[in-house]
Amino acid sequence: MRGKALVVDTVFSDLNPPVKHYPQNPIRKLPLIPRTLDPWADQHQFLIYGTQQDANDLYYDGWNPALSCDPAVVPGYNEAINILKTLPDNVLRGLEPQYNNYTKKTEQKAMYCSTQPNRGYANDMPMNYDAEGKILRDVHTGFIMEQGVSPWDKLAVHEAGHIIDLAGTNRGGYYWTPVQGWEDLADEINAIFDAQGDLISAYANTNSHEDFASHFCYYVWRGTTLRTKAATSTDVAERYNFLRDKMFLGIEYNDPLPPTPTTVSFDGYVAERIGTGTGIPIKDAYIYSHGAWEGFLVRTDYMGEFHVENLPIGHYILWAEKLGYTKSLERELFITQGQSIYLGPFFIKKLLPPNFLPIIILGGIFLIVILGTR
């Protein structure tokens, strides 16, 4: 069941419960500058900030202007803003300021471009909503982009998907968005994006919000790939058709063309298969290749997904590995022309530590001894 209540820990996001704790600074009242002066962003009143804080800093310490920077100099900024600019106006409404029923204010939304490494984080809470003002102080509803292994165009459209899902429509119960055709979609979205079935990646199976954000992302970032997958998966087809007909109003996207006809790119994901299910996404796994022509090595992002491009055509043998897991099956590919290839899943399985059994036996003996002496 989807939570409807506005509670502080309802952070449907790519941030697991924050792990670091920072001492609280005194309440600040400082200007929220600098931000980029991009005409497109200004037109949509979408704020873009650069920061040297990471998501945990912003979460616990709030926005610190002393650590801000020009977002345009943060690596990945251009990729992020360029893909957001391809969103149609009606979808962009979800990133524009909207009246918030809970704060009784019009809340602006923002993208924070961080120079720090890790991941993406979608924050669907209104600014300073936390009653004690201790978390996300002076941080707008929106998303925080960190440096990492995900391409920033993919990351930006995924996180924007969360905001459009949670704070742009009335789906999460946060915002009332008076856009024709959007207001009554909540039930339909809840019914379709249920994190069940044969989806675009294992990460989409994580929960209903990742289901929505992952398919929203692929719709824009890799439209051809998502359509290809939809041809063999009724679950993906249902999601694709909903996005096309109800949200994008017929506008469809294609995969970007390979930079030259002699290069190839690969996309896919690594998951641990549980039973016969799609499995759980594995981050920080490696995809290896020993090709007759050229090898490569790429790491999965926090969604368990990978992307590698500008590889030469040729003969590839690919597999996934991660310390503590079995190696995946090998995949052999003969590539004779430039193309983008969606590889889908590589399944790996957790290895039991070699000393697992003795620990259980010793633990059992220990328990028997303890209980026996009571």
Residues binding Zn ion (CB under 5 A): 14, 210, 213
Closest to Zn ion by CB, 107 or 305: 305
Closest to Zn ion by CB, 122 or 335: 122
Closest to Zn ion by CB, 220 or 313: 220
Residues paired with 272 in a beta bridge: 280, 348
Minimum distance from CB of 116 to Zn ion (Å)? 18
Minimum distance from CB of 172 to Zn ion (Å)? 14
Minimum distance from CB of 217 to Zn ion (Å)? 8
Minimum distance from CB of 202 to Zn ion (Å)? 13
* Residue 215: Cβ within 10 Å count: 26
Minimum distance from CB of 359 to Zn ion (Å)? 35
Rounded CA-CA distance 282/286 in Å is 10
Alpha helices in the chain (DSSP H): 39-43, 55-61, 77-84, 89-92, 152-163, 186-192, 208-221, 223-230, 234-242, 356-372
Closest to Zn ion by CB, 129 or 143: 143
Rounded CA-CA distance 307/301 in Å is 9
Minimum distance from CB of 212 to Zn ion (Å)? 9
Closest to Zn ion by CB, 14 or 107: 14
- Strand 109-117 to 46-51 pairing: parallel
Closest to Zn ion by CB, 14 or 61: 14
Closest to Zn ion by CB, 50 or 281: 281
Nearest to 169 by CA among 153, 154, 157, 181: 181
Nearest to 341 by CA among 247, 180, 229: 229
Residues contacting residue 336 through CB under 8 Å, at least 6 positions apart: 313
| Rg value, the chain, Cα | 22
Minimum distance from CB of 129 to Zn ion (Å)? 20
Rounded CA-CA distance 13/174 in Å is 15
**Sheet with strand 314-321: strands edge to edge:** 296-299, 286-289, 314-321, 331-335
